[in-house]
Amino acid sequence: MKVDVFIPSYMDQFYPEQAENVFHVLKHLGVKAKYNTEQTSCGETVFNMGDRANAETLAAKFLKDFSEKNTIVVPSSSCVDMVKNHYTKFFFNTSLHLDLKDVQARIIEFSDFLVEVLKISKWEGRLDTKICFNEGCFSSTHSNTITNTKTLLSMIEGVELIKMDYEDEYCGHENSFSHILSELSVEMGLRKLKSAIKTGAEYLICTEASCLFHLDSIIKKENMKIKTATLADLLVWAIQA
């Protein structure tokens, strides 16, 4: 099976190792994953900051970059949400309307692809660790993504998934919010991290690279005893152990 992979800008710029792990997982499963080096951003960041013009420009570029007929796998439910639910604002009843519908039908979040398309029911290897799961805002609007991510985590022998307080609450990151209300943004992140540390977890798992960036910044500043990771990280570490 061939797929195109879109790597969100936060992951591309700050977490290239996590991006590579997405490809490692797909390769391990026999999926031929293509990365278009011309890809940039889905436009979500500037859209959330109110810059509709640049968001539309990036959206049009996204449609062009993924004009082939492969499934588009994205390790970010927020980017999938942007394409599926906000691109229509730009291209409804325009010359790009049919291109949009085609891309919207082919795009899917990483964990959803593994569970719903590839029908994974087990995972090789073992990783002995305790983790908590951060239910990102956009993941919470796509209940399948949360369920599928937890299902995949539960397949890794040795991983103990511990429920923490505030698991489904906002971590405090969103571009305009974290700039305008920075102190509140940090406090929200701190509350989530302290809750995870209280459980004795080694890792807090995030589905969004932007959440990783926000929480990692707080961890480093406050010298907190917990680490962050993604689903793809744990899947790869398990088979490498």
Greatest mean pLDDT among 17-31, 135-149, 162-176: 17-31
Count of domains forming the chain: 2
Confidence of residue 193 (pLDDT cuts 50, 70, 90): very high
pLDDT of the residue at 131: 98
CATH number of the domain that residue 193 is part of: 3.40.50.1860
Contact criterion met (CB below 8 Å) for 196 and 214: no
Rounded CA gap, 170 and 135, in Å? 8
Same domain? For 141 and 103 the reply is no
State which amino acid sits at residue 148: N
Looking at the structure, tell me whether residues 61 and 131 fall in a common domain. Answer: no
Same domain, 149 and 196: yes
Report the relative pairing of strands 203-206 and 227-229 from DSSP bridges: parallel
pLDDT in tens, 62-74: 999 999 999 999 9
98 shares its domain with 144: no
Structural domain for 197, as ranges: 126-240
Are residues 69 and 97 both part of a single domain?
yes
pLDDT at 207: 87
Would the pLDDT of 91 be above 90?
A: yes
My answer on whether 110 and 140 are in the same domain is no
Q: What number is the average pLDDT over the span 209-233?
A: 94
**Do residue 140 and residue 113 come from a single domain?**
no
According to the model, what pLDDT value does residue 190 have?
93
Q: Considering 91, 117, 143, which residue would you say is the last residue of a domain?
A: 117
Q: Are residues 75 and 106 in the same domain?
A: yes
pLDDT at residue 185, rounded to an integer:
82
Looking at the structure, do residues 10 and 109 belong to the same domain, yes or no?
yes
Q: Does 179 share its domain with 135?
A: yes
pLDDT of 138 > 60? The answer is: no
Enumerate residues 6+ apart whose C-beta is below 8 A from 216.
Answer: 228
Please tell me the distance from the alpha carbon of residue 56 to that of residue 65, in angstroms, as a whole number.
14
Instruction: Band the pLDDT of 179: cuts 50, 70, 90.
Output: low
| End residue of a domain, out of 55, 90, 117 | 117
Dihedral (CA of 135, 16, 22, 229) sign: negative
**Are 101 and 133 contained in the same domain?**
no
Domain stops at, among 90, 117, 144: 117
Confidence bin at 167 (pLDDT 50/70/90): confident
Based on the fold, state whether residues 68 and 112 are members of the same structural domain: yes
